[in-house]
Structure 1
Amino acid sequence: MSRTTTMTVRLSGPLSDFVAANVGPDGAYENISEYVRDLIRRDRERAEREAFERLKAELTHAFAAPDTSYQPLTAADVIARNEA
């Protein structure tokens, strides 16, 4: 189910001028809400991309280890280790 949140944000000076330049007939966005939604989407995409890059780096590091560094474990071994 979708949820709607209403926010009030106060901007002044250069930030207000910057938003005004990006909204309206001469800007890239029709209204401030559209602009803020796009900023939030881009930030979410950035956060997801960074999380993916961290995971990819960890996996690259793990798979770069020599085969001799691995130990064969059974499911029971893993469960016992995690219970300890």
Structure 2
Amino acid sequence: MISIPNESIPIFMKTFFLFLSIILPILALVTIVLGIFHFKNPHIINLGILFIVAYPIFHFLGKKKKKVENNKRDMETN
């Protein structure tokens, strides 16, 4: 598994990654449906599959920074 240092992802990037993790599944479904029914183009279907593959990466990067921030806040309160 890939290890990412805690401070390597700034706050705005965390927000961007979480935004992508919300948008990518929707974009993937729309792309695959359009690729199958409207354009009948395998390249567009592959693009939708690429969005599905990219989703866990951005989801992981967005959640990792949030977990680190929660841990820091817990340590400050204790």
TM bucket, shorter chain: 0.3 to 0.5
TM-score, length-scaled by structure 1: 0.41
Q: TM-score, normalised by structure 2?
A: 0.43
Whose Rg is larger? 1
Determine which structure has the larger helix proportion and give its number. 2
More contact order relative to length (CA 8 Å, sep ≥ 6) = 2
